């Protein structure tokens, strides 16, 4: 199973029109509580399972909308099986379980409660996350792709529940992206950041990010 994707760009100009239309269809079905249609669309477009509306501001992904609309438990279970992440937060920092609780949907609370496979103190996770985001910003040959745009970098909290504690962060125009893997050494959080540009031979880079800083590691092409 490939690592879940994080779609950091939210502006329609970053995508082909056909992709934007397909993404809007997913967002509309979720908003309108059309659960059967939503599941059908996501089965054919699984990359939108943890993404909000393109051009939107709420950050509501399908699981948030299911929590808001009080979807049947079997619908929420199906979303989770498609890869929906319980730890994903809206722009208001709410997880799906928070929304369900506020809306009084008691039948969803247990199902939506996060089940992390890795846990660390928040301050340490924040330090590693800041380091990972700096590694992304400092990657050679892509600064021009990050300038003048709104890019939401991946929250490391998501990696506490993703399969293998991994996440793939593609950058439009990079012909590649960043593969993140969260782990621990002596109980301390670390994140391995691999990045590459597919059309540039020898572009692979590997960094180890910890609370102590960033360490360069040999890439697979160097071994």
Given this model, what pLDDT does residue 222 score? Answer: 53
Given this model, what pLDDT does residue 1 score? Answer: 46
Kindly list the distances between the CA atom of residue 60 and the CA atoms of 69, 97, 208, 221, in Å, as whole numbers in the listed order: 12, 13, 31, 39
Given this model, what pLDDT does residue 148 score? Answer: 67
Given this model, what pLDDT does residue 25 score? Answer: 98
Domain boundaries of the chain, sorted by first residue: 12-112, 122-222
Among candidate residues 217, 207, 102, 93, the one with its CA nearest the CA of residue 152? 93
CA atoms within 13 A on the CB side of 129: 16
Report the alpha-carbon distance of residue 9 to residue 136 in Å, rounded.
14
What is the pLDDT tens value at each position of the chain, 223 positions in all?
478 999 988 888 888 999 999 999 999 999 999 999 999 999 999 999 999 999 999 999 999 999 999 999 999 999 999 999 999 999 999 999 999 999 999 999 999 999 999 999 999 999 999 999 999 999 988 888 887 677 899 999 999 999 999 999 998 888 899 999 999 999 999 999 999 998 888 789 999 999 999 999 997 655 4
Given this model, what pLDDT does residue 220 score? Answer: 64
Burial class (CB in 10 A: 0-12, 13-18, 19+), 128: buried
Kindly give, in sequence order, each residue whose CB lies less than 8 Å from that of residue 201, ignoring residues fewer than 6 positions away: none
Ramachandran class of 210: left when φ > 0, alpha when ψ lies in -120 to 50, beta otherwise: beta
Given this model, what pLDDT does residue 213 score? Answer: 97
Give the architecture (CATH level 2) of 12-112: Alpha Horseshoe (1.25)
> Which residue carries 């939506």 as its tokens?
112
Given this model, what pLDDT does residue 223 score? Answer: 43
């Amino acid at each position: 199973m490939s690592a879940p994707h994080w779609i950091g760009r939210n502006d329609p100009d970053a995508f082909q029109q056909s992709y934007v239309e397909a993404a809007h269809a997913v967002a509309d079905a979720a908003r309108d509580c059309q659960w059967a249609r939503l599941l059908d669309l996501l089965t054919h477009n699984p990359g939108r399972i943890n993404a909000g509306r393109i051009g939107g501001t709420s950050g509501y992904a399908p699981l948030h909308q299911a929590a808001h609309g009080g979807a049947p438990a079997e619908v929420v279970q199906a979303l989770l099986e498609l890869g929906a992440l319980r730890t994903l937060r809206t722009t208001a920092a709410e997880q799906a379980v928070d929304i369900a609780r506020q809306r009084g949907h008691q039948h969803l609370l247990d199902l939506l409660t996060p089940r992390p496979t890795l846990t660390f103190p928040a301050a340490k996770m924040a330090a590693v996350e800041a380091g990972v985001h700096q590694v992304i910003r400092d990657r050679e040959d892509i600064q021009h792709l990050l300038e003048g745009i709104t890019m939401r970098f991946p929250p490391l909290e998501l990696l506490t529940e993703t399969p293998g504690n991994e996440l793939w962060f593609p950058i439009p125009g990079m012909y590649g992206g960043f593969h993140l893997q969260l782990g621990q050494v002596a109980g301390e959080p670390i994140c391995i950041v691999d990045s590459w540009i597919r059309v540039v031979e020898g572009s692979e880079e590997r960094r180890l990010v910890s609370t102590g800083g960033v360490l360069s590691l040999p890439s697979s092409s160097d071994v």
